[in-house]
Amino acid sequence: MSNIGTQENPFEGLGLSTSQASSNRGTNKADELGLNDFLKLMVTQLNNQDPFKPMENGDFLSQVAQFGSVTGLEQLNQNFETLAASITSGQALQAGSLVGREVLAPVDTGNLTPGSTLRGRVELEQSSPEVMVRVTDQAGRLVREMPLGAAQAGALDFSWDGIDDAGQPSPPGLYNIRVSAIQDDRQLDLQTQMFAQVESVNLSGSNGLTLNLAGLGPVSFNNVQQIF
């Protein structure tokens, strides 16, 4: 029968903590198997083994190594959680610098304030002989229709100064912006992107970083196209 080594702490080389270190971390939960419990089971197994079929050193070390692998995976998960928390904290610090800055977000609503101009952008996949911008109020009434003429493929910027089709200034408030283009002899609605100022930011674990745009509400940071 081969003998098991009797060094003072044979588990340190396998990456397992000692009983003293385990006690420093607190007792195990009722539904968890800790290192002390595992060692008790191993000692009990050795004491009650069949003398004619003794447990080999290799089997013993294999079980210890398996337990060490599980412990290592748990520690790795804890390290990832710590890293994720650190990244989240870094994002929160960076998010604070966005307050007061202007972003380009995929929204079809603009907040008109006194003396301001609503600015937006659309992306044309191909050239169009006619691009049209239509501004409506919250009740759906047409306020301004602005033909932009022909446009090449790519980014196309537009703006509205708040003047309606009658030449009168529109009252402050929210206005819907719809942009359409003639492509392949069909009129297609394009995804409108509007420039807006960031009022505040919100960082939550489930939704990630959210920007609160002035007068428009929240929008996910992942959907922001540009920051100015």
Q: Which of 96, 116, 147 corresponds to the end of one domain?
A: 96
Structural domain of residue 166, as residue ranges? 102-227
Tens digits of per-residue pLDDT, 77-104? 777 777 766 666 666 666 678 899 999 9
What lies within 8 Å, CB to CB, of 220 at 6+ separation is: 207, 208, 209, 210, 211
Per-residue pLDDT at 40 exceeds 70: yes
Least reliable range by pLDDT among 63-77, 113-127, 169-183: 63-77
112 and 90 inside one domain:
no
Q: Strand pairing of 102-105 and 128-136? A: unpaired
Q: What is the pLDDT of residue 59?
A: 62
112 and 81 inside one domain:
no
Is 141 buried (19+), middle (13-18) or exposed (0-12) by CB count in 10 A?
A: exposed
Q: Which comes out higher in pLDDT, residue 39 or 2? A: 39
134 and 187 inside one domain:
yes
Tens digits of per-residue pLDDT, 106-137? 999 999 999 999 999 999 999 999 999 999 99
32 and 133 inside one domain:
no
Tens digits of per-residue pLDDT, 6-28? 445 544 544 444 444 444 444 45
The answer to whether the CB of 180 falls within 8 A of the CB of 187 is yes
**CATH for 194:** 2.60.40.4070
d(CA 104, CA 97): 16
Within a domain: 33? yes
106 and 91 inside one domain:
no
The model's pTM: 0.61
Q: Which of 78, 96, 114 corresponds to the end of one domain?
A: 96
Tens digits of per-residue pLDDT, 136-171? 999 999 999 999 999 999 999 999 999 999 999 999
Grade residue 58 by pLDDT with cuts at 50, 70 and 90.
low
88 and 113 inside one domain:
no
Within a domain: 207? yes
